Amino acid sequence: MNINTLTDFLKQAQCQFRIYDLGRKVTKISNSAFQKIAENNLPYPYPIQQHACIALTFWQVNKQQQEHFIWFLKLPVDEQGLLKITAQTSFIKMVMEAMGENLTANMSEKLQERLASNPFVFKPSMEKLAIFSALMNTNFVRPASVFYAPALHYFSGKGYWNEWQELGFQGIADLCARLNYDDNQQHLINTLPHLPQQPLQSLALCLEHQHDINSALATAIAKQAEVELQANHQECAILLLRALSSAPAVGITKKLLEQQFSSALIHNEHWYVCIAGRCWSLLEDETLLNRFFEALANHQPTLFTQLFTDLVAIPALREKVLKQLRLSARSPALSNAIGVLFSGVKPS
């Protein structure tokens, strides 16, 4: 029996599984969608640098103790965003040589070393690992880490605002993964105006992965972003925009982005990277997409080729991004940036 895709392999091994994107944001991908992705019937939705970076958690259904195993995989995609079948086949072959068909066999140190040296395995950042761990615990109804209680105490305003140094990032990630527990959304609404820069930035980094942010909390985050920008805390304002990138209240996020287009942030390269890397879904609005490219070409032309290449690789944006190349009404700076894009010459 030929096994060419990850989903075939997992089915053959009698494993259930869940898939999360770990490239741009920590985002769950449904099993039905990933089946189509693995079979090349659907492009990978969140490619980054021509790769799909995924966390695959799996467990055998016929075992009494359903221990979960996790692989962090970095698989190449083609220009259309399709997962390369040859990469999947190569990875499966390497795993089968190392483990046989029993994916959940007890791992010896030697076996772990062989899997770790697999070229399709990658190590996520510590921040992504913390957020992924927090999300997994809530999804599988497990307790939070020991860092959750101190984070809850701090962000519910029961301590002193300057006593944040002992907080673990994992605890902040746990709190953000539990927005619908312990009145956490309201705690954050109350807390946001009082937070020092460091815990505010860590909080924002964890919130950007959360789809449970309600409209009241989204409004409070947007308001705090305006406050930070007025105080010329540009990095904090950027991170608070990122914090809203998964929030369902898209209108609030879009309004904040439109306000930031009229601010000093148009000169900050991190702002453009934030929009392309985290808030790309807002650019499905072609007016905002054009405004983004115009601002980028006029104020950060050296980033244009990199971010254009990044955005055109996202399936939901591809046609809209390519359409921008055909617009006749554009500034000289944008025309020049597009010319540089096709010439391959590095802008000055």
Residue pair 175/207 in contact by the 8 Å Cβ criterion: no
131 with 177: CB under 8 angstroms? yes
What type of residue is 17? Answer: F
Query: Could you tell me if residue 93 is inside a domain?
Result: yes
Does the structure show a pLDDT above 90 at 77?
yes
Same domain assignment for residues 183 and 84? no
In a domain, 275, yes or no: no
* Structure tokens, 202: 């860590």
3-state SS assignment for residue 228: helix
| 29, 51: one domain | yes
Q: Is residue 273 part of a domain?
A: no
Whether residue 132 is found in the same domain as residue 262: yes
Q: Is the pLDDT of residue 108 over 80?
A: no
Last residue of a domain, one of 267, 288, 312: 267
Residue 121 lies in a domain: no
- Cα–Cα distances (Å) from 71 to 19, 59, 120, 162, in that order, read 10, 12, 10, 38
234 and 183 in a common domain: yes
Check: CB of residue 13 under 8 Å from CB of residue 102.
yes
Of the ranges 98-112, 173-187, 257-271, 275-289, which one carries the lowest mean pLDDT score? Answer: 98-112
Residue ending a domain, among 267, 288, 321, is 267
pLDDT, tens digit, for every residue of 223-265? 999 999 999 999 999 999 999 999 999 999 999 999 999 999 9
How far apart, in whole angstroms, are the C-alpha atoms of residue 9 and residue 114?
19
Same domain, yes or no, for 234 and 316? no
User: How far, in Å, are 168, 221, 222, 248, 298 from residue 251 at the CA level?
Assistant: 32, 13, 11, 9, 26
Domain range for 46: 6-116
- In degrees and rounded to multiples of 5, residue 184 shows phi and psi of -65, -35
Residue with tokens 């995609």: 77
Asked if residue 1 belongs to a domain, the reply is: no
**343 band by pLDDT with thresholds 50, 70 and 90:** confident
Q: Report if residue 272 sits inside a domain.
A: no
Evaluate whether residue 218 is within a structural domain. yes
Measured N-to-C along each axis, helices 304-312 and 269-277 cross at an angle, to the nearest 10 degrees, of 10
Q: Are residues 155 and 257 in the same domain?
A: yes
Q: What is the mean pLDDT of residues 198-208?
A: 97
> pTM value?
0.91
| Three-class DSSP category at 165 | coil
d(CA 240, CA 230): 13
Same domain, 136 and 237: yes
Total domains in the chain come to 3
* Whether residue 163 sits in one domain with residue 186: yes
Q: Are 226 and 324 found together in one domain?
A: no
Question: Which residue, 30, 18, 5, 22, is CA-closest to 74?
Answer: 22
Percent of the chain beyond pLDDT 70?
A: 92
Average pLDDT over residues 92-118: 66
- Give which of 337, 267, 331 is closest to 299, Cα–Cα: 267
* Those residues with Cβ within 8 angstroms of residue 191's Cβ, 6 or more apart along the chain or in another chain: 155, 156, 157
Instruction: Specify whether 146 is located in the same domain as 245.
Output: yes
Q: Is residue 103 part of a domain?
A: yes
Q: Give tens-digit pLDDT for 32-76.
A: 999 999 999 999 999 999 999 999 998 877 766 567 888 899 999
Q: Tokens in use for 241? A: 């925009």
Same domain (yes/no): 155, 218: yes
Distance CA 22, CA 55 (A): 7
Q: Which of 64, 88, 116 is the last residue of a domain?
A: 116
Residue 45 is encoded by which pair of tokens?
């939705």
Judgement on whether residues 261 and 348 belong to the same structural domain of the protein: no
